[in-house]
């Protein structure tokens, strides 16, 4: 197996493990606001002493040597009942004092779920529509491609907002809405690949051998159609996560305080000049995911094309 | 226009015993309105090799595609062993395709680029659920039959030479043991020395397998090597037909004379 395919599978497995094991990996509850006044926008690696005071948790900057007093917001106070617990915020905190590491880990769940499900919906629809249009040609092709053009003509965000306003705002709704409004490019690529292959001797040769249409489709069309489609799809994963973020920002999709990488990045825009880490870590996770899918697509394309195997 | 026949008769061939019979076949391409074939009638009997020659654009490749039902004629009929191919349904036609095969000119384009030689040779048998498909010796046997080494089994088409590819394409066309082979310019893209060896192989296999062959070429000398009868196509019509030696010795149609003695400025492609 080629190096890039191995790397991509390892990365995706790692991301999947992080998403599945989020409750065990996340240091804190992702929505817990740890003392917003004293622990907001802490840089990565900061340590605070958490003091449980029943209804609220306080974050102290420092403890006295005998641990009977703590320093918070410039003043020393006595420790009451519970002993202060040191807590390091590896990736810092956001403006509400929430742990960025916990939010990034939990954000992987929602983001990957939405991105993968949406990508699958658009991939299946795009392959179907493009495949039928390219294979049947004529009026069917013209009708399907005009439909795709009409959907292309509208900005996707507008379509998504219209659909979301008319329907629902849950995660499933977002998957269906994003999936059904992002298949057109896949359909275009599929159609053009099929049109290209249809006119070749290779396809006439297998037709002449008496191969059934399903066998021609699976053995002689899909191996050519899939590589460009997969590469395009992999690159779309990042777009979908960001569109989901826009939707969340506009009040649809995954609603704050529940984290997704998209809404973490969106929320970070106001504090980017003071707290780079709030955007950079979810951004890095997103980049890593897109890279993993991109490598996977490239590796699969190589696997499907013996001419690209060195 | 009636074709010139050198056996003393005029008009289209009418052979009730023919394995392949094209009757007054016309084919007009819809967009360009080019009449690629115009009332063409050709018959190929069992075990016979019929040559079809013509210049570029004379309709040879369209004839090959129509003969193996990759294209339907606009008028006329194509019969194989008495069955009108135009009346057959999809699955019936697919089953019947075992009986006739097309060998393409450009083997790099016709062989599946993402399949090994072994897979390519097994695929027709797998598709038709033939028990031989699972025979471990099948590929080596067919490679030997087309004078290739069994070591080529795991190779891809781009790893083969032009001559090797054409031999693999020939083996694939014959692996279903068809009764008719339509060979469309099978050697025109090869070097002269390779061309000679492939023609020799074709002659041998035709004899061994008792194949009927419709050999299509722009080159009369190629056809002369194999075909007992030759049809000359000119602008989609049969210009002349008859025994090959007579067509070569005493050409009557202008198109035939042009093929025998081409002007240097209009050499056929």
* 8 Å CB contact of B158 and A307: yes
Q: Is the pLDDT of residue B264 over 90?
A: no
Share of chain B above pLDDT 90, in %: 50
How much is the average pLDDT of B256-260?
Answer: 85
Q: Which residue has 């009927």 as its token pair?
A: B212
How much is the average pLDDT of A74-87?
Answer: 85
Cis peptide preceding A257, ω within 30 of 0: yes
* 8 Å CB contact of B176 and A209: yes
Q: Which residue in chain B has the smallest CA separation from A205?
A: B110
**Which of A11-15, A162-166, B190-194 has the largest mean confidence?**
A11-15
pLDDT value at residue B258 = 86
Query: Do B153 and B140 meet the contact criterion of CB atoms below 8 Å apart?
Result: yes
**Which of A86-95, A164-173, A228-237, B87-96 has the largest mean confidence?**
A86-95
Query: Do A260 and A251 meet the contact criterion of CB atoms below 8 Å apart?
Result: no
pLDDT band at A255 (very low <50, low <70, confident <90, very high): confident
Rounded Cα–Cα distance for residues B108 and B131 (Å): 28
Contacts of A285 (CB under 8 A, 6+ apart): A15, A104, A107, A108, A261
Residue B106: which of A201, A215, A223 has the nearest Cβ?
A201
Q: Is the pLDDT of residue A167 over 80?
A: no
Rounded Cα–Cα distance for residues A127 and A143 (Å): 16
Phi/psi of residue A18, nearest 5 degrees:
-60, -45
How much is the average pLDDT of A192-210?
Answer: 89
* 8 Å CB contact of B104 and A201: yes
* 8 Å CB contact of B127 and A212: yes
pLDDT band at B1 (very low <50, low <70, confident <90, very high): very low
Residue B112: which of A220, A304, A307 has the nearest Cβ?
A220
Residues in B lying within 8 Å of A, measured between beta carbons: 65, 68, 70, 91, 93-98, 101-102, 104, 106, 109-116, 123-124, 127-128, 156, 158, 169, 172, 176
CATH number belonging to the domain at B18-260, selected among 3.40.50.10860, 1.20.950.20, 3.20.20.70, 3.40.50.300: 3.40.50.300
Phi/psi of residue A73, nearest 5 degrees:
50, 40
* 8 Å CB contact of B114 and A210: no
How much is the average pLDDT of B61-74?
Answer: 92
Q: Which of A134-138, A185-189, B49-53 has the lowest mean pLDDT?
A: A134-138
**B155-164, pLDDT tens digit by residue?**
999 999 989 9
Q: Does A207 touch chain B (CB under 8 A)?
A: yes
How much is the average pLDDT of B114-124?
Answer: 93
Rounded Cα–Cα distance for residues B207 and A63 (Å): 100
Size of interface A-B (CB pairs under 8 A): 71
* 8 Å CB contact of A211 and B106: no
Query: Do B260 and B251 meet the contact criterion of CB atoms below 8 Å apart?
Result: yes
Mean confidence (pLDDT) of chain A: 88
Query: Do B220 and B268 meet the contact criterion of CB atoms below 8 Å apart?
Result: no
Q: Which residues of A touch B108 (CB under 8 A)?
A: none
Q: Which of A50-64, A76-90, B11-25, B208-222 has the lowest mean pLDDT?
A: B11-25
* Residue A48 Cα to chain centre, angstroms: 31
pLDDT band at B9 (very low <50, low <70, confident <90, very high): very low
* 8 Å CB contact of A208 and B101: yes
How much is the average pLDDT of A178-191?
Answer: 92
Q: Which residues of B touch A227 (CB under 8 A)?
A: none
Q: Is the pLDDT of residue A102 over 60?
A: yes
Q: Which residues of A touch B110 (CB under 8 A)?
A: 201-202, 204-205
**A48-73, pLDDT tens digit by residue?**
999 888 778 889 999 988 888 889 98
Mean confidence (pLDDT) of chain B: 86
pLDDT value at residue B66 = 94
Q: Does A214 touch chain B (CB under 8 A)?
A: no
**A66 is written with which tokens?**
């005998």
Residue spans of the domains in chain B: they are 18-260
Query: Do A253 and A247 meet the contact criterion of CB atoms below 8 Å apart?
Result: yes
Distance from CA of B174 to the nearest CA of A (A): 10
Distances (CA, A) of B113 to A155, A227, B170: 39, 14, 16
Q: Is the pLDDT of residue B6 over 90?
A: no
């Amino acid at each position: 197996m080629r190096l890039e395919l191995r790397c991509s599978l390892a990365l995706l497995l790692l991301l999947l493990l992080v998403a599945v094991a989020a409750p065990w990996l996340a240091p804190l509850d992702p929505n817990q606001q740890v003392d917003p006044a004293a622990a907001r926008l802490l840089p990565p690696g900061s340590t605070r002493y958490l003091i449980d005071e029943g209804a609220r948790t306080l974050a102290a900057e420092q403890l006295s040597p005998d641990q009977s007093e703590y320093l918070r917001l410039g003043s020393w106070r006595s420790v009451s009942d519970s002993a202060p617990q040191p807590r390091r915020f590896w990736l810092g905190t956001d403006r509400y004092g929430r742990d960025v590491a916990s939010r990034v880990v939990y954000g992987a769940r929602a983001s990957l779920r939405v991105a993968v499900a949406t990508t699958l919906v658009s991939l299946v629809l795009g392959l179907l529509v493009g495949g039928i249009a390219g294979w049947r040609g004529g009026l069917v092709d013209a009708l399907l491609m005009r439909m795709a053009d009409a959907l292309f003509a509208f900005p996707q965000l507008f379509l998504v907002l219209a659909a979301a306003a008319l329907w629902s705002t849950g995660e499933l709704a977002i998957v269906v809405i994003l999936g059904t409004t992002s298949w057109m490019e896949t359909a275009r690529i599929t159609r053009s690949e099929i049109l290209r292959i249809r006119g070749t001797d290779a396809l006439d040769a297998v037709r002449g051998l008496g191969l059934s249409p399903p066998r021609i489709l699976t053995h002689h069309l899909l191996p050519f159609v899939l590589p460009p489609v997969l590469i395009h799809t992999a690159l779309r994963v990042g777009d979908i996560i960001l569109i989901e973020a826009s939707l969340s920002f506009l009040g649809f999709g995954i609603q704050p305080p529940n984290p997704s990488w998209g809404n973490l990045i969106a929320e970070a825009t106001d504090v980017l000049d003071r707290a780079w880490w709030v955007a950079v870590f979810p951004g890095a996770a997103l980049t890593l995911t897109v890279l993993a899918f991109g490598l996977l697509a490239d590796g699969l394309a190589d696997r499907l094309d013996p001419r690209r195997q060195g | 226009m009636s074709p010139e026949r050198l056996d003393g008769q005029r008009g289209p061939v009418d052979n009730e015993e023919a394995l392949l019979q094209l009757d007054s076949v016309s084919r007009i391409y819809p967009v360009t309105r080019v009449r690629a074939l115009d009332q063409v009638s050709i018959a190929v009997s069992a075990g016979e090799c019929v040559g079809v020659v013509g210049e570029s654009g004379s309709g040879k490749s369209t004839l090959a595609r129509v003969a193996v039902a990759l294209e339907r004629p606009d008028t006329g009929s194509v019969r194989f062993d008495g069955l009108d191919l135009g009346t057959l349904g999809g699955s019936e036609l697919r089953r019947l395709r075992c009986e006739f095969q097309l060998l393409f000119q450009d083997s790099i384009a016709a062989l599946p680029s993402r399949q090994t030689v072994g897979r390519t040779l097994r695929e027709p048998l797998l598709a038709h659920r033939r028990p031989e498909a699972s025979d471990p010796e099948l590929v080596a046997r067919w490679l030997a039959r087309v004078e290739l080494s069994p070591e080529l089994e795991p190779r891809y088409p781009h790893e083969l030479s032009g001559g090797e590819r054409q031999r693999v394409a020939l083996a694939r066309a014959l692996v279903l043991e068809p009764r008719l082979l339509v060979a469309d310019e099978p050697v025109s893209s090869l070097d002269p020395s390779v061309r000679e060896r492939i023609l020799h192989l074709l002659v041998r296999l035709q004899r061994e397998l008792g194949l009927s062959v419709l050999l299509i070429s722009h080159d009369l000398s190629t056809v002369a090597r194999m075909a007992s009868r030759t049809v000359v196509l000119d602008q989609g019509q049969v210009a002349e037909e008859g025994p090959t030696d007579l067509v070569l010795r005493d050409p009557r149609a202008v198109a035939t004379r042009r093929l025998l003695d081409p002007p240097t400025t209009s050499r056929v492609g």
